[in-house]
Amino acid sequence: MNDKAEWSDARLLGAIADGDRRALEVVYERHAPWLLLRLSRRCADQAVVDEAVQDTFVAVWRTAGKWNGKGEAAAWIWGIGIRRLLDLLRRRPLVVSPAYEQIMVSAEEQVLLGIEYGDLGRALDRLSPELRAVVQATVLDGLTTREAGKLLGIPTGTVKTRMMRAKALLREELT
């Protein structure tokens, strides 16, 4: 199996950790399209999204050796990508409309920043990593329970059970 396009994500990340640029190209080709699409759903500024995607794969190059091999590599890449997007949104100067003197930030961007810094963000941080991953995949990323199960490497029924537990804990925390 010499063609790296046929390699698993885990094997590719191991090769990237060893400095293999072709492995990074394959990971980029495999994961950049869906990452670009998902981040575009969360931010209207395409330049910011493009920069977040680029920063994500720079981080993959630099930190591939830190991936613990648990769960799906795509979930790990998504975690990097959404954090890069949030970092860029935080650093971005606020745009003020002279006519209305209102801050022009998309609703999606406000929600993302609220999750990062608000009560919901603190409540999510208190969830176990397993419950938080299910909430992120199904609620924040908009995946079906089947898609979330595949991404997280767990059965669909487990996704549903963890989501029920997470909702109950979040309800307690936020009331």
8-64, pLDDT tens digit by residue?
999 999 999 999 999 999 999 999 999 998 888 778 788 999 999 999 999 999 999
Greater confidence (113 vs 160) lies with 160
Domains 1-104 and 118-175 equal at CATH topology level: no
CATH number of this structure's domain 1-104: 1.10.1740.10
Q: Which residues contact 64 (CB under 8 A, 6 or more apart)?
A: 13, 14, 16, 17
Neighbours of 162 (CB within 10 A): 24
Residue 93, pLDDT above cutoff 70 = no
Domain boundaries, the chain: 1-104, 118-175
Written as six digits, the tokens of 155 are 């059965």
Residue 102, pLDDT above cutoff 50 = no
Q: Cite the DSSP H helix spans in 64-154.
A: 73-91, 107-117, 119-126, 129-135, 145-152
Rounded to whole angstroms, the Cα distance separating 2 from 4 reads 6
Q: Read off the pLDDT band of 97 (50, 70, 90).
A: very low
**Could you say which architecture CATH assigns to the domain 118-175?**
Orthogonal Bundle (1.10)
